[in-house]
Structure 1
Amino acid sequence: MENLDVMVLRAVRDWRAAGKRALLATVVRTWGSSPRPVGSIMALCEDGAVVGSVSGGCIEDDLIYRYTQAYSGKEPGHVIPTGAPAFVKYGVTADEAHRFGLPCGGTLELLLEYDPDAAALSALVAALETGRLMRRRVRLADGQATMEEAKAPEELVVNDRELVNTFGPEFRMLLIGAGQLTEYLATMALFSGFAVTVCDPREEYSGSWNVPAARLVTDMPDDVVTAFKPDRRSCVIALTHDPKLDDLALLEALKTDAFYVGAIGSRRNNDARHARMKEHFGQTDADLQRLRGPIGIYIGSKTPPEIAVSIMAEVLAVKNGVALPRGMEVAAAKNLRSIAADPLVACVR
């Protein structure tokens, strides 16, 4: 599934290029609970078409009602205005929070850009489609937008002069191994907005791959990692249990800026992997500190889809900068369960 921001920007670009009126809404501030984070965007066309979201749906409905003729029987005059961008708040009162479906106490503020320039949007989309990280500036006095390449993702900034929002290429996931677990994990990653590449040189696995939206390659995994060029928006996960395929690929991934590098396996397999890498490849504990394993959060998962949920949850937590409690990691949780289940230990306690 494609990066949502790119889909929104492409939609508003196409509407404007076709001569249609449109607005671009950006979540610029939130107070309390909020259904969508700061920086979220949505596009609204004059005919009522919507791409993206700024809430669970109720605020989108209100914007459609305010600014389009999409609802039958509506009195004339509900059109997208012209002029400088405008701020609008939702959920200021308890009644509004209930009306707009916001969580209790939640308030959010949007910046609405009316009829953003098609040429500027086209240039921005073209840059994002080539994998560049772009910083977009919108002058609040007149809505003029400019852009420049950014070196790293940044938080949205809004002040009395401008809105600055950074848009990046898709997050990417490289999966080593094309087994059943990989099919579940790839599907979840696609729905979470990742571009997914699957690598497996084994014909018996690659020949039966069944997730068309994920790109399949059959070269050796370490070569694929090198060509993939993992960056800060990339993760690499080994799922084959085969050291000949996993180990070299993981070592290559650890040389990169990938935000997540991990391998499936039990605690014993993980210890054996570290020992091999130290003995055969001269790695140290410091070199292997970023290598995650066993991967996932502990949910008692047994089946491939449950294990995929566990892994995907951990990947998303790391991506979003959430520090998981030690007890939620698979290895730590299983250690605690082993201690609790040991009658000798329980007796001592």
Structure 2
Amino acid sequence: MNSTDLSVLKAAVDWLKSGHRVAIATVVQTWGSAPRPIGSWLAIRDDGQVTGSVSGGCVEDDLIRRVQAEILTRDLPEMVVYGVSQKEAARFGLPCGGTLRLLVEPKPELDVLEAILASISSHQITSRTVDLSTGKSKLESGNRNEAFICNDKLMKTTYGPRWRMVIIGAGQLSLYTADFALASDFEVIVIDPRDEYAEGINREHIQFIKGMPDDVLLEIGVDSHTAVVALTHDPKLDDMALMEALKSPAFYVGALGSRVNTQKRKDRLLEFDVTQEQVERLHGPVGLFIGALTPPEIAVSILAEVIAVKYGIPIPKKNLNKEKPDR
């Protein structure tokens, strides 16, 4: 779940707890060009307060009016469609004649929303199935590969924690990498035990942990939505963290270093409790080769590679036998 949809969930829980009536709208289908993906959320309070987005601002005003005037008085979920005709698409400002189909739930269940929020907080993935004939929801364990489903009987969607980037080292490159990761909607944790970085990175929304990276990785738990990037250039810190990261379900593990040093690192790791298969998961030199030279450019190359792996885009294999620029 991205930060926008997570904020919608938190707001809906708070509003329901305070006694407001709340409707939740979910994007269930799009045709043509659509600014928000399927599964995006919008919460509307009975007084017109709104959080989130389903169209980037095209239909929200009309949806708020309809929810306040009609939908909040009903008991069952209702399907709302915008942009059926070119004329209507133009009226609501949907790009390229796009069409948007929304499921609006006028009585979301507080206990269900709280359970989803709790599972996200504990880094669990949860599937919710809504029975459209009753409006009731059923929760069960889910996985990120489950497809979104919506038909005339039910809607099934999956909620999970935000994608997370753990950065080993608190130097200048880490700062730029953390900033770009935040902009890309990652939760960011920076780990560094060194006294000279004891104050941490002075950035809002970045969690700094002073401690040995391998110990901290075990403490925070690394799962399949976590990327681990080692950027200290100090084998004593990077290698210990990589040993734990490569044995974890992390979807991406990368380390700073030249091609020659990356091969040496892989050879060292094989001397410890790391298998050949696990070592081959290491992305090194970290980042896509784009000719980057400066710290911000290298940070861009790192985020580009992490995002590509996140979405399953093939990464060109790096030749460690020739010494070339890192990226």
TM > 0.5: yes
Correspondences of 1:123-134 after superposition (within 5 Å): 123-134=115-126
CA distance in 2, matches of 1:218, 1:170: 23
Q: Deviations over 1:177-236 (max 9, x none)?
A: 001121222233234333222111111123352124222222211222222321111111
2:301 maps to 310
CA distance in 2, matches of 1:94, 1:293: 50
CA distance in 1, matches of 2:87, 2:288: 38
1:74 maps to none
1:207 aligned onto 2:199: yes
2:178 maps to 186
Shift in CA distance, 222/23, structure 1 to aligned 2, threshold 3 Å: same
AA aligned opposite 1:29: Q
AA aligned opposite 1:166: T
> Which SS does the other structure have where 1:197 is aligned?
strand
Q: TM-score under structure 1 normalisation?
A: 0.82
CA distance in 2, matches of 1:324, 1:35: 26
AA aligned opposite 1:126: A
1:38 aligned onto 2:38: yes
AA aligned opposite 2:284: G
> Which SS does the other structure have where 1:287 is aligned?
helix
Larger Rg: 1
1:296 aligned onto 2:287: yes
CA distance in 2, matches of 1:325, 1:125: 34
CA distance in 1, matches of 2:292, 2:73: 52
> Which SS does the other structure have where 1:58 is aligned?
coil
> Which SS does the other structure have where 2:72 is aligned?
coil
Structure 1 vs Structure 2 CA RMSD: 2.7
AA aligned opposite 1:110: L
1:242 aligned onto 2:254: no
2:18 maps to 18
Correspondences of 1:258-337 after superposition (within 5 Å): 258-278=250-270, 280-281=271-272, 285-321=276-312, 323-324=313-314, 326=316, 331=318
2:100 maps to 108
After TM superposition, give the deviation of residue 162 of structure 1 in Å: 1.1
Shift in CA distance, 92/267, structure 1 to aligned 2, threshold 3 Å: farther
Shift in CA distance, 91/2, structure 1 to aligned 2, threshold 3 Å: closer
CA distance in 2, matches of 1:178, 1:152: 31
CA distance in 2, matches of 1:30, 1:234: 29
> Which SS does the other structure have where 1:249 is aligned?
helix
After TM superposition, give the deviation of residue 40 of structure 1 in Å: 1.4
1:233 maps to 225
Shift in CA distance, 285/123, structure 1 to aligned 2, threshold 3 Å: closer
Q: Deviations over 1:299-337 (max 9, x none)?
A: 44333223222222322222233x1463xx8x57xx9x9
Correspondences of 1:75-94 after superposition (within 5 Å): 77=69, 80-94=72-86
CA distance in 2, matches of 1:249, 1:230: 11
CA distance in 2, matches of 1:12, 1:153: 26
Query: Could you tell which deviates more after superposition, 249-258 or 298-307?
Result: 298-307
After TM superposition, give the deviation of residue 261 of structure 1 in Å: 0.6
In structure 1, list runs of 5 or more residues that go unmatched.
Answer: 69-76, 339-349
2:243 maps to 251
AA aligned opposite 1:196: V
CA distance in 2, matches of 1:147, 1:163: 12
2:127 maps to 135
1:223 aligned onto 2:215: yes
Residue 46 of structure 1 contacts residue 79 of structure 1 at CA under 8 Å; is this kept in 2? no
In structure 2, list runs of 5 or more residues that go unmatched.
Answer: none
CA distance in 2, matches of 1:62, 1:300: 48
CA distance in 2, matches of 1:120, 1:283: 41
CA distance in 2, matches of 1:310, 1:101: 35
After TM superposition, give the deviation of residue 240 of structure 1 in Å: 0.8
Residue 41 of structure 1 contacts residue 54 of structure 1 at CA under 8 Å; is this kept in 2? yes
Q: Which runs of 4+ in 1 moved over 6 A?
A: none
Residue 22 of structure 1 contacts residue 115 of structure 1 at CA under 8 Å; is this kept in 2? yes
CA distance in 1, matches of 2:118, 2:276: 42
Residue 16 of structure 2 contacts residue 22 of structure 2 at CA under 8 Å; is this kept in 1? yes
> Which SS does the other structure have where 2:266 is aligned?
helix
Q: How many residues align?
A: 322
Residue 247 of structure 2 contacts residue 274 of structure 2 at CA under 8 Å; is this kept in 1? no
Q: TM-score under structure 2 normalisation?
A: 0.87
CA distance in 1, matches of 2:89, 2:305: 32
